[in-house]
Amino acid sequence: MNPELITIGSCTLDCIIQVKDILRFELFDKDVVKKYTAIEYSRKLNVEDIRFVPGGSGANIAADCAMLGIKSTYIGVIGKDFSAEICLEDLKKRNVDISQIYQTEEDNTAFSVILKTEWGKDRSILAYKGANNLLTPDHVKEKLFSNIKAFAWSSLTTENGCKAIEKAIRLTKDNGGMVFAAPSMSILKNNPKWAKTLITNSDVVSMNAEEAEEFTKEPERYYAVKKMIDLGPKLVSITDGARGSLVTDGEKIIKSGIYNVNVIDTTGAGDAFLSGILLSKLNGYSLEKMTQISTAMSSLESMEIGVREGLPSNLSDIEKFMSKNNLQQNVSSLADY
């Protein structure tokens, strides 16, 4: 049976390292302030905690949605190493169809080292794209899209990877499905031409504030969402950590705060937010409820270490969370900006 949701993007093994004995400093260059995390030269540091957890935006979105009952397939390339075994086992456990994952000996499975420090939001990441970069349009099979409801893409930057996403977008639209975009900073900086092409052809676009500013060159979030709507997407969201989110359908714009929860690890929160939008769109929910669900998804994910932990396995658990926790929302018209 063909999937309702297909995702393309990275599949990665994340190594999350908690470290205290590390330096932080800022450099000022005219109007620009750059912040750095540093290790003292030729020094051995003690690690407080270490976790190996499967991640990668494409795989995360498939896993998040599969746990909520959406039939999900992830398309990607991984290696034949210990990382691949961990990633495959986790996706299977979460009911993701892995029949479209191709294993190769040409490269290793993508791997990220995530440094968690004592400075709250700070998460410096060393990312190796590995086998993710080997995806081509040939990996995207036309017959897979016959009953497609949604396609979500993220993370890839190579020419072949972007062409594979473009092919999947075309097949999704040919079959009446919706296209969801979660473009990473990697594609926005390293392949901006493809980023604009793929975003323009997507129905829903979700970014964090830094990504939105990089893409639109607008530091003000309201102007950034307006610029993206003008490109063609029907719905745009910008998440901004403790500042909450903005979501617009081109007419209404909803500014939401955050739920008051104990935040442990925000890795993967953006993917959870998009998964909430995707679930809401497939169920025809209002913009207000969509934002509540998406914020709940990202909040629940942030309460535990790991990128797929803490998330619910059914919609009723999300509803219970929302009923017990208050979310501040302000509704206005996009035309006012």
Task: Express each pLDDT in 273-330 by its tens digit.
Answer: 999 999 999 999 999 999 999 999 999 998 887 778 788 888 899 999 999 999 999 9
- State the CATH number of the domain containing residue 96: 3.40.1190.30
Q: Which residue is listed with tokens 């034949």?
A: 80
SS3 content of the chain, % helix, strand, coil (to 5): 40, 25, 35
Q: What is the mean pLDDT of the chain?
A: 93
The answer to whether residue 38 is domain-embedded is no
**pLDDT bracket for residue 32 (50, 70, 90):** confident
Task: Express each pLDDT in 6-15 by its tens digit.
Answer: 999 999 999 9
Q: How many Cβ atoms from other residues are within 10 Å of residue 152's Cβ?
A: 32
213 contact partners, CB below 8 Å, separation of at least 6: 219, 224
Question: What is the token pair recorded at 184?
Answer: 């990473």
Backbone angles phi, psi at 274, to 5 degrees: -65, -40
The answer to whether residue 80 is domain-embedded is yes
The answer to whether residue 304 is domain-embedded is no
Residue-level length of the chain: 337
The answer to whether residue 206 is domain-embedded is no
Average pLDDT over residues 37-66: 91
Backbone angles phi, psi at 104, to 5 degrees: -140, 155
Give the whole-angstrom CA distance, residue 133 versus residue 211: 21
121 has a pLDDT exceeding 70? no
The answer to whether residue 16 is domain-embedded is yes
**pLDDT bracket for residue 206 (50, 70, 90):** very high
Give the whole-angstrom CA distance, residue 55 versus residue 68: 18
The answer to whether residue 228 is domain-embedded is no
Domain extent, residue 116, equals 10-20+46-134
The answer to whether residue 64 is domain-embedded is yes
* Domain count within the chain: 1
The answer to whether residue 308 is domain-embedded is no
